[in-house]
Chain A
């Protein structure tokens, strides 16, 4: 089971800035464990954000995105009280969606 994301969305003027922290191992597939065995890659591949149902960010990630990923973006529109939803899918097929309210 994955842990919730931390989503901070702040509206200022006509712009909303979103910062997201995701709880994920982002295992590169390059690392070896204590026994010398390669730890298989396990990482988020797709991540996207919607505001009132409209996609405001979508990205594809590789194994080089850091563990417990951080992403920041901003878009025009959005006001305090609006909902932002962020979803990800990893290469194990695990998915997660969390919501936050714009402040």
Chain B
């Protein structure tokens, strides 16, 4: 329920206008219901947090653990995990600063589910990777730099 409220509060109108202006709309013609388009068009951690509903800038927290390799031999698949030990964590997002769309994934954490998720993401280049967690109405982050290298013959 909380999720629906959250999504409804997103800046849908702005996002639509933006999409039309940038000519992005055809590719996104059939967005799934409830998909937070504005959040997935954000270019930075701060923008992503804002689009997710944050009213103030996220704060770095030691209780949020980000698991990511220091070096990726291929940017197409990078395993990233985030674990929040902050009480009442209800959302965890993964953000790649230098990706064309900074927000990679956003998980809702229902009561009873561990605030600990991992997935594989793509990285276009070396970049800071962030875990972003929502607890109560506050947002927290953890950061790690992941270097993307060229693996093979390159031919």
Contacts and interface: CB of A to CB of B under 8 A. Distances in A.
Say whether A associates with B: yes
A66 interface: yes
Contacts of A46: 32-35
B120 A62 contact: no
Q: How large is the interface on B (under 10, 10 to 19, 20 to 34, 35 or more residues)?
A: 35 or more
Nearest to A78: B112
Contacts of A73: 107, 113-114, 116-117
Interface string B7-51: 000000000000000000011111111111001100000000000
B149 interface: no
Nearest to A95: B32
A11 B147 CA distance: 35
Nearest to A93: B30
Nearest to A73: B117
A58 B107 contact: yes
A91 B123 CA distance: 21
Given A58-B108, A71-B119, A15 B101 contact: no
A70 B101 contact: no
A70 B119 contact: yes
**A: interface residue count bin:** 35 or more
Given A58-B3, A69-B120, A73-B116, A64 B107 contact: no
Interface of B: 3, 26-36, 39-40, 76-79, 81, 96, 99-101, 103-108, 110, 112-114, 116-124
23 contacts: A29-B27, A40-B26, A40-B27, A41-B27, A46-B35, A55-B110, A59-B107, A59-B108, A59-B117, A60-B39, A60-B40, A63-B40, A64-B123, A65-B119, A66-B76, A66-B122, A70-B119, A72-B81, A72-B119, A74-B116, A75-B113, A91-B29, A91-B35
